[in-house]
Amino acid sequence: AQVFPKPAKTRIIAVANQKGGVGKTTTTVNLAAAMALSGAQVLVIDMDPQGNASTALGIEHGSGCDSVYDVLEGRLGIDDAKQVCPDFSNLDVVPASIDLSGAELEVADAPNRNNLLRDALAMFLSNSDRHYDYVFIDCPPSLGLLVINAMCAANEMLIPIQAEYYALEGLGQLIHTIGLVQEHFNAALLVSTMLVTMYDKRTLLSREVFEEVKKHYPSIVLETTIPRTVKISEAPSFGQSVIAYDPKGMGATSYREAALEIAKRSAQVLEAIAIKRGEH
Ligand code: ADP
Ligand code: MG
């Protein structure tokens, strides 16, 4: 496998879009696997009570198992809750179980409720024997407390955009919310990346969506688009990323190219291109 440039310090990337079904989980899982394949040390944190990222990486996550729910509520550290992805020994996963759906209410009155993930992650990264190059956080389709926790813990936001009619609808709201987080909680957060998913090069609509995203966010959208493929959609049912399930196919190739583009964006490049605090 191709070796990618490694970041000097851990890049913590939250994958978010309040719309469901746009490819957040697929993108999280496959970028993480592509980075792991390139030799990077990777951690995935599943912040969606549905636990789809856990499933897709072959991680057990039934109700009651050690998960990010216990981490957010302070019962476990990330070190205790994480499991190793069966396909990549350098890819760790903190699973989510359905229990996480109660967390937003249970921690609603905690004074540090926005920073539960940030604090647990900081503790873990500073005490871990291993240096992590990338942490990917898979967000649920909302703008609730779980997503705010992801935004507070991250230093970058990656927004998948489905090449569909209404693709950009809701994007303004998302960018606005990220702006509030930058303003009040996490001034260092960068909106660093957009990725067009489920792209069909035969349709005018797909090309129009890509052009539209490029027009509005020229510096951050990746040149690589992710095609709609059957292998990408069936890989999760085998508990595998498409990187492991169909390594030579179009889906895996595209996600590896997208990961390489991300890896090539050094800290200086990110500073120059990303949407920062006060720039909305
Ligand atoms: P989200 O996490 O934003 O809700 P998912 O990543 O779960 O979205 O994707 C929604 C559905 O679309 C899933 O069934 C997934 O397998 C499928 N899907 C995502 N990306 C692709 C793709 N590039 N090609 C085919 N199916 C895809
Ligand atoms: Mg999802």
Domain ranges of the chain: 11-273
Average pLDDT over residues 80-90: 98
Measured in angstroms, how far is the CA atom of residue 188 from the centroid of ligand 2?
25
Measured in angstroms, how far is the CA atom of residue 53 from the centroid of ligand 2?
7
**For 11-273, CATH number?**
3.40.50.300
Measured in angstroms, how far is the CA atom of residue 67 from the centroid of ligand 1?
23
Calculate the dihedral angle through the C-alpha atoms of 3, 5, 9, 13, rounding to the nearest 10 degrees: -80
> What ipTM was reported for this prediction?
0.99
- Which two structure tokens, joined as six digits, stand for 213? 């995203």
Q: How confident is the model at residue 2 (pLDDT cuts 50, 70, 90)?
A: confident
- For residue range 223-235, list pLDDT tens digits in order: 999 999 999 999 9
State the closest ligand 1 atom to the C-alpha of 138, by its place in the atom list counted from 1: 2
pLDDT at 146 exceeding the cut of 80: yes
pTM of the predicted model as reported, rounded to 2 decimal places = 0.98
The H or E element containing residue 208 is helix 204-216
Ligand nearest to the CA of 197: 1
pLDDT at 280 exceeding the cut of 90: no
pLDDT at 1 exceeding the cut of 80: no
